């Protein structure tokens, strides 16, 4: 059935500072509008009825995607997933983020949806969040009490959502520069390529000859939020990366998962697949890291 | 609720409409402007692609886009694909190849395909499939649809080549519009104004 959107006020500030002031004074239930994919869909279904939307669309410069003087990748709040996918800067410097973005099938969704919006929706099945966790990305927020930064792994709150307060706006995501000797891989399991993940895994390893100096394993769709498999990361760190060690880490990663059973998959199957996908991703990432 | 007159540029024509904040582009097109080629499919879940239009050349789900946010921007719908009574090569190929069954997904398919060919005039089969991944065909006629897009791409490439050759041999006196058999200031000029668009379409 077609439903018309409930009436709301639409405000269009022209700077981020004005957006923060407007959001603070707009009252309970006001929402920030970026790409609108999730927000407008929920409003169309009358799941939420915000009295006021604050659009970021008229603020210049928010669709930025560039490498700063510090070598970090800077992603603005209006930068679309499609821009990230098509960026040679991203595919060359941060191929893991490119791979994760490419997993999203619909060109329309990628052309409209923003990367920051994908994170703010805070679904545990995000393809983007595990990749950014493995890359140690940082979320930059601003609100009436000022600006702050938070590691992306701490941005999401289990059983809930994210730490983003109703009066805060994400202003930027930064991703540290790639380090020499690192390799990464992204694996997703879904019913079809267009479907939401049953399980997804992003891994990154830093290699020094046969020794693993650093490891990141982030799991999506297998807990109430994106989770890091820290015990598995610790097992790998400092170890000689034999196939047995990689398999051991993959088995340990399963313990970080607490999946549910739903229409997409059963809990047991998801758990098993965390092990399989993590082992495959670790092997691929290790090979990509090379021997130097 | 805010309700203001805004300018919308749809298929090259300018419309001034009194638009409330809660109107979507799909409602604007179908209910206000009478452009019913754009379809309402999955009721705003973002899954089906039947409501796809191009906003500044980019495939956009009109059911999830607030009309107010695309004021003053160029919108292309299926009604704007043909030129001077001639079907767009994509439309013609869909007919010739038999890529239309019930037809409900066709407008969205055509626009997603146009966005692809505007930026990639010689796509592989896989690239076509990827470009159309956001458009569902419940009749499951994907094989013919992909074939039609590849056929249209070849037609557009050969027409562009022929046109470039004709313009070259006709020289500066005739001008590019006349060489293509179009009035000066016609489609070729409009095409040149759209970022990444092919010369003729």
Q: Which helix (H) or strand (E) holds A93?
A: helix A88-93
Residues of chain A with pLDDT under 70: 1-2, 291-292
Evaluate whether A65-175 and A183-289 have a shared fold.
Answer: no
Q: Which residues pair with B10 in a beta bridge?
A: B13, B75
Residues facing residue A169 across a β-bridge: A142
Contact yes or no for A37 and B60 at CB 8 A? no
CA distance A236 to A216: 9
User: Is the CB of residue B46 less than 8 Å away from at least one CB of chain A?
Assistant: yes
- pLDDT per position as a tens digit, B73-101: 999 999 999 999 999 999 999 999 999 99
Residues of A in contact with B65 (CB under 8 A): 36, 40, 112
A130 alpha carbon, distance to own chain's centre? 5
Q: In whole angstroms, what separates CA A255 from the centre of its chain?
A: 21
- Rounded CA-CA distance B62/B116 in Å is 18
From B65, B198, B145, select the one nearest A108 (Cα to Cα).
Answer: B65
Could you tell me which residues come within 8 angstroms of residue A287 by beta carbon, excluding any fewer than 6 positions away? A183
Contacts of B2 (CB under 8 A, 6+ apart): A9, A10, B20, B21, B68
How deeply is B47 buried, as exposed, middle or buried, from its count of CB atoms within 10 A (0-12, 13-18, 19+)? Answer: middle
Residue-level pLDDT at B181: 40
Fold of A183-289: Enolase-like; domain 1 (3.30.390)
Tokens at residue A178, please? 């790639």
Report d(CA A103, CA A115) in Å as an integer. Answer: 13
Domain boundaries of chain A, sorted by first residue: 9-54, 65-175, 183-289
Whether domain B3-80 has CATH 3.40.50.150: the reply is no
Question: Fold identical between B3-80 and B89-179?
Answer: no
> What is the sign, positive or negative, of the torsion defined by CA atoms of B141, B143, B144, B149?
positive
What are A's interface residues with B at a Cβ cutoff of 8 A?
Answer: 1-10, 33, 36-37, 40-41, 44-45, 53, 55, 57, 82, 105-109, 111-112, 193-194
- Percent of chain B topping pLDDT 70: 84
Quick: pLDDT tens for B123-156: 999 999 999 999 999 998 899 999 999 999 999 9
CATH top class, domain A65-175:
alpha beta
Distance CA B85, CA B69 (A): 31
Pick from B58, B64, B133: CB nearest A37: B64
Whether B177 has a pLDDT exceeding 80, the answer reads: no
Chain B residues with CB inside 8 Å of A33's CB?
66, 69
pLDDT value for B164: 78
Assess B133–A contact: CB distance below 8 Å, yes or no: yes
Helix (H, G, I), strand (E, B) or coil at B75: strand
Quickly state the pLDDT bin for B61 (edges 50, 70, 90). Answer: very high
CB contact under 8 A, A4 and B68: no
Residues sharing a CB contact under 8 Å with residue A192, sequence separation 6 or more, in sequence order: none
Please tell me the distance in Å from B193's CA to the nearest CA on chain A.
21
Residue B119 is encoded by which pair of tokens? 């930026």
Half-sphere exposure of B155 (CA within 13 A, CB side): 16
State residue B201's pLDDT score: 60
Q: Which of A105, A107, A123, A196 to mutate to test the interface with B (most CBs of B within 10 A)?
A: A107
> How big is the CA angle at A125 (ends A286 and A40), to the nearest 5 degrees?
140
Q: Which two tokens stand for residue A154?
A: 């701490």
DSSP E strands in chain B: the ranges are: 3-10, 13-20, 52-55, 58-61, 74-76
Give me the residue from B22, B64, B133 closest to A107, CB to CB.
Answer: B133
Measured between beta carbons, the chain A residues lying within 8 angstroms of B54 are: none
pLDDT interval class at B187 (50, 70, 90): very low
Work out the average pLDDT over B55-67. 97
Could you confirm whether domain B89-179 is CATH 1.10.150.120? yes
**Spatial distance between the Cα atoms of B117 and B111, rounded to a whole number of angstroms:** 10
Where do the domains of chain B lie? 3-80, 89-179
Q: What residues in B contact A5, CB-CB < 8 Å?
A: 22-24
Binned at pLDDT 50, 70 and 90, residue B184 comes out as very low
Note whether B134 contacts A: Cβ–Cβ < 8 A.
yes
User: What span, in angstroms and rounded, lies between the C-alpha atoms of B36 and A81?
Assistant: 29
CA distance A196 to chain B (A): 11
Q: Which of A5, A8, A111 sits opposite B60 (nearest CB)?
A: A111
Name which of A2, A10, A106 to mutate to probe chain B: the one with the most chain B Cβ atoms within 10 A of its Cβ: A106
Cα separation of A206 and A280, whole Å?
16
Query: Taking 60 as the threshold, does the pLDDT of residue B188 lie above it?
Result: no
């Amino acid at each position: 059935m077609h439903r018309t959107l409930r009436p709301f006020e639409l405000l269009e500030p022209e700077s981020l500072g004005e957006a923060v002031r407007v959001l603070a004074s707009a009252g309970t239930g006001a929402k920030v509008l970026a790409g609108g994919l999730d927000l407008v869909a929920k409003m169309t279904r009358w799941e939420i009825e915000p009295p006021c939307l604050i659009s970021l669309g008229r603020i210049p410069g928010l669709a930025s995607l560039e490498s700063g003087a510090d070598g970090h990748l800077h992603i603005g709040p209006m930068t679309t997933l499609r821009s990230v996918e098509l960026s040679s800067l991203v595919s060359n410097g941060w191929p893991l983020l490119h791979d994760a973005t490419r997993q999203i099938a619909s060109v329309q969704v990628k052309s409209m949806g923003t990367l920051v919006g994908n994170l703010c929706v805070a679904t545990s099945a995000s393809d983007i969040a595990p990749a950014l966790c493995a890359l140690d990305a940082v979320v930059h927020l601003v609100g009436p009490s000022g600006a702050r930064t938070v590691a992306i792994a701490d941005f999401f709150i289990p059983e809930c959502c994210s730490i983003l307060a109703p009066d805060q706006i994400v202003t930027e995501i930064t991703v540290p520069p790639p380090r020499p000797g690192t390799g990464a891989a992204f694996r997703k399991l879904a019913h079809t390529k267009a479907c939401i993940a049953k399980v997804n895994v992003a891994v990154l390893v830093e290699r020094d000859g046969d020794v693993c100096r650093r490891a990141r394993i982030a799991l999506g769709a297998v807990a109430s939020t994106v989770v890091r498999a820290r015990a598995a990361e610790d097992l790998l760190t400092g170890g000689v990366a034999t196939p047995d060690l990689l398999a051991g880490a993959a088995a340990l990663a399963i313990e970080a998962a607490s999946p549910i059973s739903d229409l997409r998959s059963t809990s047991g199957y998801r758990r098993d697949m965390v092990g399989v996908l993590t082992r495959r991703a670790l092997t691929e990432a290790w090979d990509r890291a090379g021997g130097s | 609720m805010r309700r203001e007159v805004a300018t919308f540029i749809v298929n090259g024509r300018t419309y001034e409409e009194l638009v409330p904040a809660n109107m979507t582009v799909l409602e604007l097109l179908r209910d206000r402007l009478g452009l019913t080629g754009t379809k309402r499919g999955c009721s705003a879940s973002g899954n089906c692609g039947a409501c796809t239009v191009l906003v500044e050349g980019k495939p956009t789900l009109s059911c999830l886009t607030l009309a107010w946010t695309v004021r003053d921007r160029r919108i292309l719908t299926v009604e704007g694909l043909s030129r001077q009574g001639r079907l767009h090569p994509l439309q013609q190929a869909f007919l010739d190849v038999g890529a239309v069954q019930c037809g409900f997904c066709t407008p969205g398919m055509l626009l997603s395909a146009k966005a692809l060919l505007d930026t990639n005039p010689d796509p592989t089969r896989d690239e076509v499939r990827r470009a159309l991944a956001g458009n569902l065909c419940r009749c499951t006629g994907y094989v013919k649809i992909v074939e039609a897009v590849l056929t249209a791409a070849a037609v557009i490439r050969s027409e562009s080549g022929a046109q470039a050759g004709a313009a070259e041999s006709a020289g500066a006196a005739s001008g590019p519009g006349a060489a293509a058999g179009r009035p000066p200031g016609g489609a070729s000029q409009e095409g040149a104004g759209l970022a990444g668009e092919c010369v003729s379409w």
